Amino acid sequence: AQTVTQSQPEMSVQEAETVTLSCTYDTSESDYYLFWYKQPPSRQMILVIRQEAYKQQNATENRFSVNFQKAAKSFSLKISDSQLGDAAMYFCAYRRATGANSKLTFGKGITLSVRP
């Protein structure tokens, strides 16, 4: 079974600074997808960024980028120029790329606070 681990329950960053959120996963699959979702106090789960395992290039979305290390099964999220609106819970998630089972497996999440 696939597992996703987010070992840091909380992190804090100064506004305008950069922060990196860690995630590791375990799978025997070679093809899969990884996601970072953001859940603000409103509880709406918002997709931040997605990475296909077959792509060596790290995904980027504006101020958000990932460091995908397939051999190490590591998938960290870097937030540059942090803003107050980035304060939220962040979840790392895994999904198989093949087969009918498309369920997302989530980590426990990390609470990010942004200091003004």
Partner 1 sequence: KAGVTQTPRYLIKTRGQQVTLSCSPISGHRSVSWYQQTPGQGLQFLFEYFSETQRNKGNFPGRFSGRQFSNSRSEMNVSTLELGDSALYLCASSLRDGGTSTDTQYFGPGTRLTVL
Cβ count within 10 A of residue 81: 11
Report if residue 101 touches partner 1, rule: CB under 8 A. yes
Q: Please, are residues 62 and 78 in contact by the beta-carbon 8 Å criterion?
A: no
Residue in 29, 69, 84, 97 binding partner 1, rule: CB under 8 A: 97
Tokens of 43: 């509880």
Report if residue 8 touches partner 1, rule: CB under 8 A. no
Residue in 26, 69, 83, 103 binding partner 1, rule: CB under 8 A: 103
Question: Is 67 or 106 the residue whose CB approaches partner 1 more closely?
Answer: 106
Report if residue 50 touches partner 1, rule: CB under 8 A. yes
CA-closest candidate to residue 106, choices 54, 10, 38:
38
Report if residue 35 touches partner 1, rule: CB under 8 A. yes
Report if residue 102 touches partner 1, rule: CB under 8 A. yes
Report if residue 25 touches partner 1, rule: CB under 8 A. no
Per CB under 8 A, contacts with partner 1 among 72-91 are 91
Map tokens 């996703």 to a residue: 4
Q: What's the CA gap between 35 and 85, in Å, rounded? A: 20
Q: Please, are residues 23 and 6 in contact by the beta-carbon 8 Å criterion?
A: yes
Where along the sequence are the contacts to partner 1 (CB under 8 A)?
33, 35, 37, 42-47, 50, 91, 95-109
